[in-house]
Amino acid sequence: MTSLSDLPLRDNLVGKLPYGAPQDPVPVSLNVNENTHPIPEEVVEDVVAELSRAVRGVNRYPDRDFGELRAALAGYLGHGLSADQIWAANGSNEVLQQILQAFGGPGRRLLSFTPTYSMYPLLAAGTDTEWVPVPRPDDYVLRPDFVARTLAEQRPDVAIICGPNNPTGTSLDLEVVEAAADAFDGILIVDEAYHEFDAEHESALRLLPGRPRLLVSRTMSKAFAFAGVRLGYLAADPAVVDALRLVRLPYHLSALTQAAAIAAVRHADRMLATVDDIRGQRDRLSDALTKMGYTVHPSGSNFLLVGGFANPGATFDALRRQGILIRELGIPGHLRMTAGTESETSTLISAISDLGPGGAPSE
């Protein structure tokens, strides 16, 4: 049987593995930071009605520039944004890939502060962009002087800052974004995939005016509970949007994706009604694990990075055997877990408590 090693891969792809987290059909799946709350029924009905209308026209190509969706997303984001400042693709991963296709590539460099989203180096490799990881401080918090100094010294072509950061949950102060934008003349991406869960920090959208190389990326996968639809988007200067149109595939957003997303944005308030409950379950999980003696890192997202596990792999396996999936990330002593429904959170708290100190499974 032919294997990857038998194929003439590009040199920078040799030895790499595809991105992926376990997708076991377990009762409690808390490993990929989904919104575990179902979509409200009235929203489902409207989405289905829009899909029904859209499917009657799928013998024709969809709107290539999805103007109605871009206008809807601009209205949702506010900040005086217009449709020509919005772009969208099949998940924020594709948005980021298109940015690197336009502004990265051979001889160019992408920098970010690690640990961070594990797709960034994979997207860099896929676009032949050099990956430059810079370790975060021990508390994972980025500060303006550190970020500005790093960017001024490294001079990457593209830099990306995730806030709240995945997998640490660390929030991002706007002063850091301002310092980063002033420190170098490359493309600066602020990945706000989890922004709706952060009740205390402003969006970098406020900083867009006068900064044509600042891009703010968002997704409907998390707070909007629309992970299966695959809709990511960004806000930026119209010239950046024009650049992304150079590299996108024609008709990359299907008529069905556009219809579903437009309907969901129309019900934004209802779709985001679960956010407060998820924050509450996140804080409840944090309190419970802290009382058990674990180190819970501050989080502005819908998940927690938790330290203090004697053997994270063994804890992961023990929970998996009980039908609970969380995420092992290779950070020594740490595991990441999504805040689920009240019932799911209760199940997780109980299971970790039963494992005993340090999450060590009984022999």
**Per-residue exposure over 210-223, b if at least 16 CB sit within 10 Å of its own CB, e if not:** ebebbbbbbbbbbb
- Which pLDDT value is given to residue 192? 98
Flag whether pLDDT at 79 surpasses 70.
Answer: yes
Nearest to 251 by CA among 78, 74, 65, 93: 65
Pair 196, 275: CB distance under 8 Å: yes
- Which pLDDT value is given to residue 314? 96
Contacts of 80 (CB under 8 A, 6+ apart): none
3-state class (DSSP) for residue 187? strand
- Which pLDDT value is given to residue 59? 98
Give the range among 83-87, 134-138, 357-361 with minimum mean pLDDT. 357-361
Is the N-terminal amide bond of 164 cis, ω within 30° of 0?
A: yes
Flag whether pLDDT at 253 surpasses 80.
Answer: yes
CA–centroid distance for 250 within its chain? 25
Report the half-sphere exposure of 48 (CA within 13 A, side-chain side).
7
Pair 51, 60: CB distance under 8 Å: no
Mean pLDDT computed over every residue of the chain: 96
- pLDDT level of residue 360 (50, 70, 90 thresholds): confident
- pLDDT level of residue 139 (50, 70, 90 thresholds): very high
Count of CB atoms situated within 10 Å of the CB of 311:
14
- Which pLDDT value is given to residue 291? 97
- pLDDT level of residue 256 (50, 70, 90 thresholds): very high
Average pLDDT over residues 269-278: 95
Q: Could you tell me which residues are beta bridge partners of residue 83?
A: none
Q: Which amino acid is at 307?
A: G
Instruction: Report how far residue 41's alpha carbon sits from residue 198's, in angstroms, rounded to the nearest whole number.
Output: 26
Average pLDDT over residues 195-209: 97
Average pLDDT over residues 227-244: 98
- pLDDT level of residue 362 (50, 70, 90 thresholds): low
Pair 148, 159: CB distance under 8 Å: no
Domains of the chain (ranges, CATH numbers): 22-39+273-359 (3.90.1150.10), 41-266 (3.40.640.10)
Q: Which residue has the tokens 């499917």?
A: 55
Flag whether pLDDT at 37 surpasses 90.
Answer: yes
Flag whether pLDDT at 361 surpasses 80.
Answer: no
Average pLDDT over residues 178-197: 98
- Which pLDDT value is given to residue 22? 74
Average pLDDT over residues 169-174: 98
pLDDT digits (tens, 9 = 90+) for 313-351: 999 999 999 999 999 999 999 999 999 999 999 999 999
Average pLDDT over residues 105-112: 98
The CA-based dihedral angle spanning residues 330, 334, 339, 344, taken in that order and rounded to the nearest 10 degrees: 100
3-state class (DSSP) for residue 101? helix
- pLDDT level of residue 4 (50, 70, 90 thresholds): confident
% of residues, the chain, pLDDT over 90: 91
Average pLDDT over residues 175-203: 97
- Which pLDDT value is given to residue 363? 58
- Which pLDDT value is given to residue 209? 98
- In the chain the beta strands, taken as DSSP E runs, fall at 28-29, 86-89, 109-114, 130-135, 158-162, 187-191, 214-219, 232-235, 295-296, 303-307, 324-325, 334-338
Contacts of 252 (CB under 8 A, 6+ apart): 89, 90, 94
| Tokens, residue 335 | 């595991």
Report the half-sphere exposure of 249 (CA within 13 A, side-chain side).
8
Count of CB atoms situated within 10 Å of the CB of 207:
18
> pTM for the whole thing?
0.96
Pair 216, 160: CB distance under 8 Å: no
- Per-residue DSSP letter, 143: -
Flag whether pLDDT at 149 surpasses 70.
Answer: yes
Instruction: Report how far residue 289's alpha carbon sits from residue 31's, in angstroms, rounded to the nearest whole number.
Output: 17
pLDDT digits (tens, 9 = 90+) for 10-34: 888 888 878 777 778 899 999 999 9
